[in-house]
Structure 1
Amino acid sequence: MRVLGMISGTSHDGIDVAVVDFALAGTTLHGSLRHAACIPYPPALRARLRAALPPASLTFAEVCTLDTLIGQAFADAASAALAVAGKVDLICSHGQTVYHWVEAGKVHGTLQLGQPAWIAERTGTPVVSDLRARDVAAGGQGAPLVALMDTLLLSGLPGRPAALNLGGIANLTIPTHPGAFPALAYDLGPANALIDAAAWRACGAHFDRDGELAAAGRIDPDLLAALLAEPYYALPPPKTTGKELFNLAYLESLLSQRNLAAVDVVATVTALTAEIVAAEVKRHGIDTVIASGGGCANPTLMAMVRSRLDGINVVTSGTLGVPSDAKEAIAFALLGYFTAHGLPGNIPSCTGAAAPRILGTITPGRAQLRIPAPPSEPPTRLLLA
């Protein structure tokens, strides 16, 4: 089955796409990456989306408009991907998360915009979407759904490996360790969410290109201590967070009584991510960290992470055949494959759901909808090329 995976992450800079051919041999799922790209949002849409994110208040009219415009942008991105990679059997669209409703550590709801009907109408291909809601309805956090791919990819690797994603939010996946404990995955805290906010505050940049702002600044110990005092870090997993908490207003509240150079703020929030990553990696006795996400393109952040993980092997997901900037799109292609084959896409020990669930809803394409038969045994390992 050939699947197109699509997602716009918490940095809301554009739409990541990945076309993957999947073939199951026994319990090993083989995936061949045929195409990967990032299609930037049109500037006007990105500005409108940025203005709508928490802590902003919205009207239903604006929600409807954004749902339509984002859906059309995803349809454009799908069409561009198909023009390069050719026909696919299925599209899996995560859409754009705009709100994650969390109170006292419990997720009550989650909202992703990007109406899938626009994608199905444009491409004629069935679309799996709204994947997080079913896990939430089953008592889970709705995230991290990338844990499915992480656990399959890391299956059988020696030692104690873990997958680290440095997107808007940093999350960690620790696969099942035979005879010891089930798989674990959770959001550690902010990565690019606060770095981007600090870069915007410093010079109106959408992100800290090549980590240059952080490299020019100095870490402020007082601000770093205040950031590390955030109660979220002490919550036990499973747990998730997002820009509902870690946003520009959050950062400004901590800076109101401090007079710091803008580049020092960027350096300090970059160090914050490195600190929370290192603390959790060490807490779980990890010996190999396989990193992915946009944060891998920030050499200052990666240097800070490595300096705090001295003696621990830190590599990027490219060593497993997964380009670090395409990982989430590949993960949602995989989730689409699982949904189409009647396989659960969540891991209860990672999300906190009551049980495994088949995720998402399916919007039919132009042809009669045909659902493949479930495999006799679900995949236990993923090999990507």
Structure 2
Amino acid sequence: MRVIGLMSGTSYDAIDAAAADLSLDGDGLVLKPLGMVSEAYDEELREALAAALPPGVTSAAEVCRLDTGIGQAFAAAAVRADREVCRGEAELVASHGQTVYHWADGGEVRGTLQLGQPAWIAEATGLPVVADFRPRDIAAGGQGAPLVSLVDLLWLRGRPGTPVALNLGGIANVTAPDGTAFDTGPACALIDAAARGFSGGALAHDVDGALAARGTVHEPLLRRLLDEPYYALPAPKTTGKELFHLGYLRDALAGFTTLRAEDVIATLTMLTARTVADAVGALNATEVIASGGGTRNPVLMAMLGQRLPGTAVRTSDELGLPWNAKEAYAFAVLGFLTAHGLPGTHPASTGARHARVLGSITPGREGLRLPPPGARPPRRLVVA
């Protein structure tokens, strides 16, 4: 089955559309990456999305407009991926949508909201669309994140030692072979917020870690940031930009009026490296397989490597999944599992009471034709 996975993460800079040929083979799920395209949000939609995210306030009318605009943007990415990568032979679309709020309260997740109405995708492509993956796990008592943990578990199974999958997006998350998975805290969220804030919006992020490279870590600020209670919570746990946003950073900077922008960004980069390394170290990792935009920040990766001596740190490209498309491929897998009536979660990873089939399905142009029942859950993922 040819599946297009659609993903836009907490950095909300672009929509990634990755196409995969997926098939069940015994106890394995074989994934053949076909390629990806990436579509940047247009500036007006991106600004509207940024304004609606915490700590901003919004309205039901604006949420409706965003749901439509994001759905149409995701639809355009899916159409392009089907045309350019699948040559018009895609059979299913799996859309994560754009997370605008993840309602965590006292370590418990009570709800989540991803925008990007899947009807626009189904109408534009003519294909069935699996979307709205997270709510079912939350309804079953889970955190709804990290939702790619099952894919990571299948992918890591059989590797020697204790491999840990790491995603460095806006938020960092890890998955260990025993099923332990959680968000460690910010990856690029606070770094990006600082870059935008100090540059007056001219910079969306610290390009190539250049600002951090010119700065010096400010230990008093780092200690204040590390006092954040989230880091001491036990797994499973999840967080997002509801906590780690520009207002949070401004509060943390109170009293540090003489710090240069470069020093603040160097300190935030060390915060990410420190919290990720602490989490990885507690999992006794023998290797870290990283993906996401943070892998393009050489200062962050160097800091992470320094804090993990003796642990191999490599990118997902070495195992066949591109750093910038790994999560989109993961959602293609989750959509495939849903279409086959197979669960897409691991209870140990999200804290749910049971593994559940995820998402809702919007029929395509020819109605809904699902594969016959009876498929067995795969035990490993093979990247062809």
Q: Same fold (TM over 0.5)?
A: yes
Q: 1:318 corresponds to which residue? A: 317
Could you tell me how far apart the structure 1 residues matched to 2:191 and 2:352 are?
31
Shift of 1:318: 1.1
Number of residue pairs matched? 379
- Once the two structures are superposed, the pairs formed by residues 277-356 of structure 1 within 5 Å of their partners are 277-356=276-355
- Superposition pairs of residues 198-217 of structure 1, within 5 angstroms: 198-203=194-199, 204=201, 205-217=203-215
Q: Residue 37 of structure 2 contacts residue 80 of structure 2 at CA under 8 Å; is this kept in 1?
A: no
- 1:308-327 CA distances to partner (integer Å, 9 max, x unpaired)? 11111111111211101100
Identity %: 58
Alignment partners' CA distance in 2, 1:61 and 1:38:
28
User: Aligned letter for 1:266?
Assistant: I
Q: Which amino acid aligns with 2:230?
A: Y
Q: Residue in 2 aligned with 1:158?
A: 160
Match of 1:241 in 2: 239
Query: Does the CA-based 8 Å contact 1:165-1:292 persist in structure 2?
Result: yes
Map Cα deviations across residues 167-209 of structure 1 (whole Å, 9 max, x no partner).
0000000013xxxxxx110000001101101111221311111
Once the two structures are superposed, residues 19-65 of structure 1 have per-residue CA deviations (whole angstroms, 9 ceiling, x without a partner) of: 00012111111111112122110111111111110011111000000
Match of 2:248 in 1: 250
Alpha-carbon distance, 1:375 to partner: 4.6
Q: Which residue of 1 aligns with 2:368?
A: 369
CA contact (8 A) 1:125 1:366 kept: yes
Q: CA RMSD in A?
A: 0.8
2:218 aligned partner: 220
In structure 1, give the amino acid aligned to 2:317: G
Q: Which moved more, 1:105-114 or 1:252-261?
A: 252-261
Unaligned runs of 5+ in 2: none
- Which residue identity does 2:128 align to in structure 1? P
The 1:48–1:372 alpha-carbon spacing in structure 2 relative to 1, beyond 3 Å, is same
- The C-alpha deviation readout for 1:271-330, integer Å capped at 9, x for no partner, is 000000111111121110011111001111001100111111111111211101100100
Which digits, 9 at most, give the CA deviation of each residue in 1:211-239, with x for residues without a partner? 00111111000000000000000000000
1:70 maps to 2:70: yes
Provide the TM-score with structure 2 as the length reference: 0.97
Deviation at 1:377, TM superposition (A): 2.5
Report what 1:133 is aligned to: 135
Is the contact made by 1:202 and 1:263 (CA closer than 8 Å) also made in structure 2?
no
Taking the TM superposition and a 5 Å limit, the aligned residue runs for 1:102-141 are 102-141=104-143
Give the C-alpha shift of residue 373 in structure 1: 2.2
Q: Please say if residues 5 and 91 of structure 1, whose CA atoms lie closer than 8 Å, have aligned partners that are also in contact.
A: yes
**8 A contact 1:136–1:142 mirrored in 2:** yes
Matches of 1:278 and 1:340 in 2, distance apart?
37
Q: Could you say which residue in structure 2 is the equivalent of 1:179? A: none
- Which amino acid in 1 is paired with 2:358? L
1:63-105 deviation per Cα after TM superposition (whole angstroms, max 9, x unaligned): 0000000000001111111110222110000100000011101
Equivalent residue of 1:98, what SS? strand
User: How far apart in 2 are the matches of 1:62 and 1:362?
Assistant: 25
Q: How far did 1:374 drift?
A: 3.7
One-letter amino acid of the structure 1 residue matched with residue 256 of structure 2: R
Partner of 1:180: none
CA contact (8 A) 1:200 1:206 kept: yes
What are structure 1's unaligned runs of at least 5 residues?
Answer: 177-182
Amino acid across the alignment from 2:382: L
| Counterpart residue number, 2:30 | 30
CA distance in 2, matches of 1:337, 1:374: 13
User: 2-side partners of 1:370 and 1:76: how far apart?
Assistant: 23
TM-score (norm 1): 0.97
Shift, 1:371, TM fit: 1.0
Show the counterpart of 1:171.
173
Contact 1:4 1:20 in 2 (8 A): yes
Q: 1:184: which partner in 2?
A: 180
Conserved? CA contact 2:342–2:375, under 8 Å: no
Provide the secondary structure at the position in 2 that maps to 1:232: helix
